[in-house]
Amino acid sequence: MRTSRSVVIGVDSSTQSTKAVAVDTATGGLLAVGRAPHTVTGTGGARESDPEEWWTALATAVRAAVREAGIPATAVTGIAVAGQQHGLVALGADGRALRPALLWNDTRSAPEAAALAAGLGGPKSWLERTGSVPVASMTAAKWQWLREHEPAHAAATTGVRLPHDYLTERLTGHAVTDPGDASGTCWYGHGGGAGRDSYDPEILDLLGLDPALLPAVAPSGATRVGTLTAAAAEALGLPRTVVVAAGTGDNMAAAVGLGLGGAGLLDHPVVSLGTSGTVFAATRTRPADPGLAGFAATDGTYLPLGCTLNCTLAVDRFAALLGLDREDAAPGADAGVVVLPYLDGERTPDLPHAAGLVTGLRHTTDPRAILGAAYEGAAFTVLHALDGLLAACGLDLTDSAVRDRPLRLIGGGARGRTWTDTVRRLSGRPLVVPAAEELVALGAAALAGGAVTGEDPVALAHAWGTGAGELLPPLARSTETWDRIAGVLTAASPGLLR
């Protein structure tokens, strides 16, 4: 007897847009992708978005995905949201945002982050409690900024949410988050300290943050938290019976989509080239390194992560300034040019007030070499963070078993020839470039599938094969380029970069 198809929706609510994928729950087949843009505003370090626009974009993207998949709305059985991490949404008494959300790449809270890091016994205490030391991107620093610069808004706040929390609450009416996204706030403790696997009361006291303002923490991102409210069902054009999973942060969802976690791959490095550059790996042991974000994965393992602020958008900006196509690049270090493309400040290394730096120019310099140097500077920054992450996880970088393990390259940059060639030259590693382009949304779909079926979402994604892709062999590592960039960074910091 033929049964009706079950379809789950995975939502990726990122900095620039919302993408919603419709996935066949049984096979993992991608049926359709819906998209809708976001608006980001702000100058001088400010980066903000209106959460109401996220909700409108979610509804638009989901409706488009269902329509393009050619399925009846009744076929949809589950949905989960993966959202950009760290953003601060301050809710008012009506449940709507009091002001635009402060985004992860808003660097205005750098002074507040530094002051917080010095408190509570200093960085070591923060690492023991939360796995991370406050930096400008973390939600705790943003809340502190709101308290100090907009005290009326802070006083009027009746709820504090991360972007994915906000959207899940709009779907279900329930205030809920998951351990993965919560671990990026710097007020959620996991793996040690007084606040292990819960909101840390001493940190909340330091922040003047009432725990009643925070969402409940579900056991995992695949936990079933409810079904659609009447208003959400109408907005999305779906039945109210659709199951909603707790969801998670975008990096945690990408890990699920790649099959990383307790039921899949452990200690396999990932490099994501997007608006930001990120490096992460699922591991059983949480490292304590001030240069890393000691995140929890959404499935009970850990997901230590290094993040750079300047990646594909920074390189594209150089291409625009030079009047070149993004693929019209030549190796920069070969011409003696080095670019540190820190156009938005930088998080790793921690240089929140930095500007971009170009050195080595001559009358004869080819503009294509400047663009190539921008690629190299961005890739160096990401790969340097990766080396720090692997070492902090206790892995020996000189061990061939570690050194030769393929990088999984994801994000928009993974589709660009110059990006992949640059990463291969600077890393000397083979690359796996997954065929699936929407890994965050597919990871969210696996969380939705887990909520519907009760299966482990990492195992489900592994069975779907969403992380499979082309293997690119390694290129000889360009140590000369690496050393040249490292030398400029050392010489320039702090005098020219801060």
CA dihedral 87, 91, 97, 101 (to 10 degrees): -20
Cα end-to-end distance, the chain, whole Å: 68
What is the token pair recorded at 36? 């809708």
3-state secondary structure of 294: strand
Residues 6 or more apart from 283 whose CB is under 8 A from it? 266, 267, 301, 302, 303, 304, 393
Per the annotation, the verdict on 250 as an active-site residue is yes
Catalytic residue among 24, 106, 181, 250: 250
- HSE-up (13 A, CA, CB side) for residue 73: 13
Instruction: Find the DSSP H helices in 187-311.
Output: 201-207, 230-236, 250-257
- What does residue 492 show for φ and ψ, rounded to 5 degrees? -80, -25
The three-point CA angle 231-185-190 to 5° equals 110
Residues 337, 342, 343, CA angle at the centre, nearest 5°? Answer: 110
List of long-range contacts for 393-398, beta carbons under 8 Å, 24+ apart: 393/267, 393/281, 393/283, 393/285, 393/287, 393/304, 394/285, 394/287, 395/267
- DSSP-derived letter for residue 184 is T
- Interacting residues of 217 by C-beta distance below 8 A, sequence separation 6+: 176, 177, 178, 179, 182, 188, 198, 199
* Distinct helix (H) and strand (E) counts, the chain: 17, 24
Question: Can you tell me the distance from the alpha carbon of 221 to that of 218, in angstroms, rounded to the nearest whole number?
Answer: 7
Beta-carbon neighbour count of residue 321 at 10 Å? 12
Helix (H, G, I), strand (E, B) or coil at 172: helix
What are the phi and psi torsion angles at 115 (to 5°)? -65, -40
**Is the backbone of residue 345 left (phi > 0), alpha (psi -120 to 50) or beta?**
left
What are the CA-CA distances from residue 353 to residues 117, 343, 494 (Å)?
Answer: 17, 9, 11
- The answer to whether 436 and 393 have CB atoms below 8 angstroms apart is no
The single residue listed with the structure tokens 């400040």 is 345
Q: Which positions are annotated as active-site residues? A: 250
